[in-house]
Amino acid sequence: MKVKDLDTPSLIINRDIMMDNIQFMQSFADKHNVALRPHTKTHKMPALAKLQVEAGAKGITVAKVGEAEVMAENGLNDIFIANQVVGEIKLNRIKKLAETIDISFGVDNIEQIEVIEKVFSDSDKPAQVLIEIEVGENRSGVIEEHDYIELVKYILNCSHVNLKGIFSHDGNTYKAKDVEHCRELYNYAQTRTLHFARLAEDLGCKLETVSIGSTPPFMFGFDVMAGVTELRVGTYILMDVSQGNAIGTYDRCAATVLTTVISKPTSERVITDVGAKGLTMQSRSEGICATTGVGTLKHYDQVHISQMYDEHAIIYNEKFRNEVKIGDKVEVIPNHICPVCNLYDVAYLVSGDEVVETVPVLARGKLQ
């Protein structure tokens, strides 16, 4: 099948660019002698996760227990859930997964550990946990040293919980003012994470894993500090407008949404058949990853989607309007690829003008 023969909207992935992205990040990790554990919430496809592992990744990262279950069902056997898993329902599902695969997950408070200890009390294996360290994103994770020390001590006294390591996410690098500011934020995140690793060592706990990650610093090739053992990077495999803006090119953007021009009601307005239900309304308003509009047209200079409704993309550009005809199919590079993949049942891998493979998005909708 030719790409032009696909119905729309469709999620398409340039296989050649994607494979180059996979090798690029794996080579970066190998160069710095650290493990790569890609975050598969970006694509939610076991088939792509396997390509990352085959290229050398140690294992994979997911965001939710449901994603872990899908990945495990499809042959991925070393999984980290980079999130606080709370509640007996989810913990029992993890305990079941632990019978057949290596699985670990995030924690950041003693209340959470109390329930984990209870749930895993009848398990042959202790729960494998990593403490999240807050490093500037202002999201989840331990902030104060005394809280961290108390948490480490509490885990060390548990019979059914093992402290495997710590992890952090420097998501604030997306809002860096420029490349040097990005480096500054990233280095602070590394330094802070390593400081907390040393605090654990002072308590007699040598951590197996010290994990860091967000895409921008590694696309810039920033150094990895001694003591870091693992990189968790997600968006790099497909990239998007925000990441392309950070590095100054869309050449690494592998994923696009194919959409059809369905109306040209004015001299400058164009309507296509993908809206928020196929592209999301997400945008970034500041920093190196700032975006214009809610999607960028590939192969057209500075043409952006101005606004979206549920099923319609609205583009205001007279030159573009005069270049396209009703029925033409165009490609949109999403501002943020991660939520877009979650909107499709399948992705089409393409090479040139040919569709070479249809890949099911098996972890789509696995939010629990």
Which CATH number is 77-233 given? 3.20.20.10
E-state strands within 236-353: 255-263, 269-272, 296-297, 307-308, 313-316, 329-333, 346-351
The C-alpha atoms of residue 72 and residue 362 are separated, in whole angstroms, by: 12
pLDDT at residue 192, rounded to an integer: 98
Interhelix angle 65-73/88-97, rounded to 10 degrees, is 20
Fold category of 3-10+242-360 in CATH: Lyase, Ornithine Decarboxylase; Chain A, domain 1 (2.40.37)
pLDDT at residue 77, rounded to an integer: 98
**Cβ neighbours for 24, distance < 8 A, ≥ 6 positions apart:** 236, 252
- 8 Å CB contact between 105 and 209: no
pLDDT at residue 215, rounded to an integer: 96
Q: Where in the chain do CATH 2.40.37.20 domains reside?
A: 3-10+242-360
pLDDT at residue 278, rounded to an integer: 98
**DSSP H or E stretch at residue 359:** strand 354-360
pLDDT at residue 233, rounded to an integer: 97
pLDDT at residue 109, rounded to an integer: 98
E-state strands within 10-168: 10-14, 35-36, 60-62, 78-84, 102-107, 127-133, 161-168
Q: Strand pairing of 102-107 and 78-84?
A: parallel
User: Which among 106, 97, 51 has a CA at the least distance from the CA of 78?
Assistant: 97
**DSSP H or E stretch at residue 67:** helix 65-73
pLDDT at residue 110, rounded to an integer: 98
Please state the pTM of the whole predicted model. 0.97
What are the residue ranges in the chain where pLDDT is below 70?
A: none
- 8 Å CB contact between 41 and 63: yes
**DSSP H or E stretch at residue 355:** strand 354-360
pLDDT at residue 73, rounded to an integer: 98
The C-alpha atoms of residue 133 and residue 142 are separated, in whole angstroms, by: 5
Concatenated DSSP letters of 182-251: HHHHHHHHHHHHHHHHHHHHHTT---SEEEE--HHHHHTTPPPPTT--EE---GGGT--HHHHHHHT-ST
Amino acid at 253: C
